């Protein structure tokens, strides 16, 4: 039991933050999504979402690219392989500890 609790120390702090976990969980469930969709789905403000996405991008968990759909500019976000691995590990640690 104590070993399981100790494993909580392995939790990735970047992903453990509630708003970032929401973003990563959402991106894990889809192929890709743009900034506006993430904002609608998470209910975060533009500034908040932008800041969290920057942190996730810096950590290499999310890849962000600019694109156009017709005349509409899109900021497309996608979970990287590294992000997927970290989320899987996070799931396992939480499941084992709780």
Per CB under 8 A, contacts with another protein among 48-67 are 49-50
Tell which one of 5, 6, 10, 73 touches another protein (CB under 8 A).
73
Neighbours of 44 (CB within 10 A): 18
CB of 75 to another protein, least distance (A): 6
The answer to whether residues 43 and 80 touch, using CB atoms and an 8 Å cutoff, is no
Whose Cβ is closer to another protein: residue 38's or residue 56's? 38
Question: b/e map of 10-29 (b: 16 or more CB within 10 Å)?
Answer: eebebbeeeebbbbbebbee
The answer to whether residues 74 and 88 touch, using CB atoms and an 8 Å cutoff, is no
Asked if 34 touches another protein (CB under 8 A), the answer is: yes
Contact residues for another protein (CB under 8 A)? 18-19, 21-22, 24-26, 28-42, 46, 49-50, 69-70, 72-76, 87, 90-91, 94-95
């Amino acid at each position: 039991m104590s070993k399981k609790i100790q494993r909580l120390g392995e939790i990735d702090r970047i992903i453990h933050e509630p708003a970032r976990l929401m973003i990563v969980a959402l991106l894990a469930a889809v192929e890709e999504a743009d900034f506006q969709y993430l904002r609608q789905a998470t209910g975060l403000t533009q500034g908040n979402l932008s800041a969290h996405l920057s942190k996730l991008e810096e950590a290499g968990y999310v890849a962000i690219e600019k694109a156009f759909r017709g005349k509409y500019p899109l900021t497309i976000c996608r979970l990287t392989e590294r992000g997927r691995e970290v989320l899987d590990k996070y799931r396992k640690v939480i499941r084992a500890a709780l």
